Amino acid sequence: MRFQGRVALVTGGSRGIGKATALKLAGEGATVAVHYSRAIDKAEAVCEQIRGLGQEAIPVQADIADRDAVNRMVATVTEELGVIELLVNNAGDVGDMTFEELTPEHWDRIVAINLTGPFNVLWAVKPGMIERQFGRVVNVSSIAALAVRPNQLPYAAAKAGVISLTKSCCGPLAPHNIRINSVAPGAIATDMLGEVSTEMVEQLRSTTPLGRLGEPEEMAGVIAFLLSEESSYMTGSTVIASGGRILIP
């Protein structure tokens, strides 16, 4: 198993891509800390599934935009499970809003969750990885960072920042045997799509060259690859997994 004996932290691990990733890593031997923001019941349910696979798991709560809360979360994981060796920075929020409706307060919150949050978590786990001289990080970005999407100005800007954060960190981290990459998903069939209309979901499906939405498990497969030694010569890279949707203007 690719992650036997490794300790993983998956932010936003109670649902969608995060949940699928937590289960994927556990299925391949990892002990997993499942981060959640509000839904402890969902996080605990994921942990129960992981325990059913024979692996240890704990739910951990934090507002990732709160640096002190993140530091406390990482300290809890380290104390209960051990030094975090695998980090998946997945937690985020789209927060669609038109250009005309966009307020500075909305900008601040979306950027805090989607860009400052991943920075906070990375900076909290980094010392342990450096001390151990081992670390694998995957930041979840979005194709919104690479192609303009209506009503997603702060989200797109933040996710572009995630790609830049990934690139900028790969050089300083590489001498410590820490690899950092990102993935840019397209339209994925998660509960976040429940916030948009049926017509919009159908438009997303019909304008994706593969003719369907992506599944969380497919993204988990890409993330697991980037965390594994199968990608041992990759760092600072962004893998686009969009069903070809990145080609759509």
Residues tagged active-site: 155
Do the Cβ atoms of 16 and 37 come closer than 8 Å?
Answer: no
Do the Cβ atoms of 9 and 35 come closer than 8 Å?
Answer: yes
134 phi/psi in degrees, rounded to 5: -160, 135
Cα separation, 156 vs 40, whole angstroms: 28
**Which residues on neighbouring strands pair with residue 88, listed in sequence order?**
10, 138
Do the Cβ atoms of 155 and 137 come closer than 8 Å?
Answer: no
